[in-house]
Chains A and B, each alone.
Chain A
């Protein structure tokens, strides 16, 4: 899948002239891409260890794609998406526990809430640029963490919420773990699909324009703030859905887990970064690189010495950053350019 052709935001001068692909071609690439990501599931569906990893990979791929909408395409590097994730998780779990509302429906209130809350809290901070904005969103995460601990009646406080195992389709609780994997796969597929449709729509082009040069976009008549707010709403809603799915998979949620920056809030950013920010496929590639690697290293080396597996992970991250400077998507692009050159030479 060539990330260039899907209307990426990669401003490299190597973008082919004549631009955009027709819908049919895009749909084909999308289907092929999804099939490729399905392969690990098909191969390893009987191995519980890998199944669990693949489930998280799909989930976080979807979450990274959601993050990328406002961060990669919109240029607003957020480290506060953990807030939306947590709202989705708490809402879905609470509605299920207290009012027996099926999570299939219960995902929506959280998404809608974040579609409102997201723009609300990001709006005043949009005037902050670059890293300032990132650090301000970190503050959101920290404030929300304290509140989640404090407001025991809403979130269960430090104890959090536990969803007992009552398997039923309508409960979104399954005895067969493969059902969860498929569920997360569908989430990822939907997130990627929305991403593609968005970036080929007018809102998507405006978003890119705003990212490249806000003043020019404003001069061209684009309502910068509206564009950003809409993208935020979409990004936050998708993230909330991911949070709700997470809650139903892991079935025990507490503030420390949901607001953990390295595991959740910052992880969305890291996956997109290494995969290739501002591309459709980048976040997915990043998830497929980091999550299996991290889990595999923990499984193999976790018992060896304290922290050994994480040292290895850190080195892989450093090397990845140094040798794949535009992320995995960028590296794949470079390879394709290389082959094109060699063929035409």
Chain B
């Protein structure tokens, strides 16, 4: 039966969208930065995997251990140098992230000439079938990684001290500061984590796609849509929002027309937002200043 296969395709695609968005969700939800350069952070993760392969011969699933911390550091630097000085002007932050996008894309273009690299992996392309359903290891890994990351992130925010300070800062900056939390440092760490998550997505995506400096742009719109659809700052929101987008795209693409699938899920996205302006899992008022609860 085709329909089961499409279902699985949609869920796995949702895994891709979710993994790309989970870092953006954190940054957007906590620091309230519209980071246009998020797609480029994913792109850097991909090229990081390629670099690890080209210089050290590493399989991308091993390269994760190098690339993710590297992106964490990149995130810290970007936030400290560019975004933090602009924390009072959110509009300028948007402009700055756009400048960052241009720099990152074109730096990679200048270095690589735009050649379409591939990152080979011993296991990633392997596909197994269960009846009519076909599952590819690379996509399954992404799905599992997303699930694991979502759970880990949830626990991190709930149980660890840093996680709690992130939540505190999200709910009420002034109160957090009064309680002795270093708000600026918390923001920087959050941005670092969000960038690391983008890097994770990049590395895990590298066996699937042909790399190009502009590949971040392929995902950024979907990532924003997923974040907004899921509800600001909600980890579950990014998770299930991604699933929904993936499923709609897969079904619309197969049963209606691959040319129209983007328009279709964007339309559904708009309809959902109009009906529920805070997103599916968002708290009412969350998108305003801070939000009251995050369970």
Contact = CB atoms under 8 A, between A and B. Distances in A.
Nearest to B113: A306
Interface stretch (B182-190, B203-211, B261-269): B261-269
B274 A322 contact: no
Interface string B227-255: 01000100000000000000000000000
B98 A135 contact: no
Nearest to B222: A142
A124 B274 contact: yes
Interface string A98-137: 0000000000000000000000000011011111101110
A146 B99 contact: no
B224 A317 contact: no
A146 B259 CA distance: 8
B86 A128 contact: no
Contact of B94 (A142, A149, A273): A273
Contacts of B100: 314, 318
Contacts, number: 133
Nearest to A322: B85
Contacts of B96: 317-318, 321-322
Interface stretch (B47-55, B104-112, B161-169): B104-112
B152 interface: no
Interface in A305-345: 305-308, 310-311, 313-318, 320-322, 325-327
Contact of A273 (B91, B277, B288): B91
B277 A127 contact: yes
B267 A132 contact: no
A270 B228 CA distance: 22
A266 interface: yes
Contacts of B113: 306
Contacts of A32: none
A306 B82 contact: no
A308 B263 contact: no
Interface string A252-293: 000000000000001001100110010000000000000000
Interface string A45-66: 0000000000000000000000
Interface in B246-295: 259-260, 262-263, 266-267, 269-270, 273-274, 277, 279, 287-288
Which interface residue of B32, B34, B228 has the most chain A CB atoms within 10 A? B228
B266 A321 contact: no
Given A150-B260, A322-B86, A325-B86, A310 B225 contact: no
Interface string B81-120: 0100110110111111011111101110110011000000
A206 to B, nearest CB: 22
B72 interface: no
A231 interface: no
Contacts of A150: 259-260
Given A128-B277, A131-B34, A318-B103, A142 B263 contact: yes
B60 interface: no
Interface residues of A, number: 45
Chain B CB within 10 Å — which of A124, A307, A327 has the most?
A: A307
B266 to A, nearest CB: 4
A35 B114 CA distance: 44
A291 B127 CA distance: 50
A130 B225 contact: no
A327 B93 CA distance: 12
B17 interface: no
A31 interface: no
A20 interface: no
Contacts of A131: 28, 32, 34, 228, 287
B46 to A, nearest CB: 17
A243 B193 CA distance: 42
A274 B103 contact: no
A138 B102 CA distance: 19
B221 interface: yes
B213 interface: yes
A204 B106 CA distance: 41
Contacts of B102: 310-311, 313-314, 317
A315 B106 contact: no
A295 to B, nearest CB: 15
A143 interface: yes
A139 interface: yes
A278 to B, nearest CB: 9
A147 interface: yes
B29 to A, nearest CB: 11
Contacts of B34: 131, 134
Please give me the 9 A-B residue pairs with the lowest Cβ-Cβ distance, nearest first.
A317-B99, A307-B106, A314-B103, A314-B102, A146-B263, A307-B109, A321-B96, A310-B106, A318-B99
14 contacts: A125-B274, A127-B277, A131-B228, A136-B273, A143-B266, A146-B262, A150-B260, A273-B91, A306-B113, A307-B105, A307-B110, A311-B107, A314-B101, A316-B99
